Amino acid sequence: MSRRWIVHAVLLAGGLIMITPFVWQLVVSLQTVTESMRMPPTPVPSWQWHNFADVFRTVPLGRQFLNTVIVTAAVTAGQLLLCSLAAFAFARLEFPGRGPIFLLFLAVLMVPGELFLLPRYEIMQGLGWLNTLQALIAPGVFGAFGTFLLRQFFKTLPRELDEAARLDGANPLQIYWWIMLPLVRPGLLALGLLTVMWSWSSLLWPLVVNTDPEMMTLSAGLASLRGQYLTNYPVLFAGSVVASLPVIVLFVVMQRQLIAGIAFTGSKG
């Protein structure tokens, strides 16, 4: 019985370290600048709710929020559609060169993302897409990881399914849409959640491709604030809270599915 208490004590102590930065951020986001720089640190805020209004006024945070929502939604929808189409073909259809093409897809997974950035930037420059939302969306909708992940899901479905559907005269696209897609819903959900998480938070690409504050995502917007408002931590943290809250809420609601997805990539990836 006492052993169980030790387990709880250790987990709680660790959990306290995990949660403190969040609590502290929330507290400071409701303080005055003077309070935020006081020593010893003040754990009680004076409830300066106007900090949240200030951050929306001093930076185009509302616009950046909208940008992030649009980009994340478009990237996630695109990933789900394109990855599932390709994954279905790789898992369920026979065509010459399937193996080598799939290996080429996998090779992309091994390459660090930085290798894509300079040429992508030039592509966007050539298209005149710098400082646009499509510059953030276009590269994001394609992904080797999602294709690989969903292929694993499609492969687990019994072969009799397609054969029965074929006897009924269905073509592969119909089989994909009407029969297979509903059955790989857990995979789609996992990929969707992971994509939302990555897309919402990604920094480097948005930072280089969109330098106009009106076209930035929240991540890049926050990063660009750090120089300007470094002495104003309360407003900075109000912005941070607004920026990270949506994904945190999504995680709390969809926790089970997200964790299952990550555990799956661990076992099969």
Three-state SS annotation for 150-185: HHHHHHCCCCHHHHHHHHCCCCHHHHHHHHHHHHCH
**Closest approach of another protein to the CB of residue 50, in Å:** 20
Nearest residue to 140 via CA among 192, 79, 80, 95? 79
Say if CB 243 and CB 59 are below 8 A apart.
Answer: no
Residue 135's closest CA among 206, 80, 223, 219? 206
Minimum CB separation of residue 77 from another protein in Å reads 13
In this structure, what are the phi and psi dihedrals at residue 45, rounded to the nearest 5 degrees? -80, 160
**With CB under 8 A as the contact rule, which of the stretches 33-41, 50-58, 126-134, 182-190 interacts with another protein?**
33-41
**Out of 1, 2, 4, 158, the residue judged to bind another protein by CB under 8 A:** 4
- Comparison of 8 and 57: residue with beta carbon closer to another protein: 8
Please choose, out of 1-9, 49-57, 59-67, 184-192, the segment that lies near another protein by the rule CB under 8 A: 1-9
Residue count at the site for another protein (CB under 8 A)?
Answer: 100
Q: Shortest distance, CB of residue 17 to another protein, whole angstroms?
A: 7
Positions 121 through 160 that interact with another protein (CB under 8 A): 121-123, 138-139, 141-142, 144, 147, 155, 159
CB nearer to another protein: pick between 71 and 218: 218
Nearest CA to 229 among 59, 23, 86, 76? 59
CB neighbourhood size of 213 (10 A): 15
Which one among 53, 127, 203, 253 touches another protein, defined by CB under 8 A? 203
Euclidean distance between CA atoms 137 and 74, whole angstroms = 7
Instruction: State which residue, 166 or 185, has the beta carbon closest to another protein.
Output: 166
Residue 59 near another protein by CB under 8 A: no
In 29-143, alpha helices (H): 33-36, 50-58, 61-92, 98-110, 114-127, 133-140
Span 9-28, contacts to another protein by CB under 8 A: 10-11, 14-15, 17-22, 24-25, 28
- Closest to another protein by CB, 53 or 93: 93
Interface mask toward another protein for 163-192; x: CB under 8 A: --------xxx--x----------------
Name residues contacting another protein, limited to 73-112 (CB under 8 A): 82-83, 85-86, 88-90, 93-96, 98, 101, 104-105, 108, 110-112
Please count the other Cβ atoms lying within 10 Å of the Cβ belonging to residue 93.
12
The answer to whether residue 65 forms part of the interface with another protein (CB under 8 A) is no
Specify the DSSP class assigned to residue 213: G
Look up residue 233 and give its amino acid.
Y
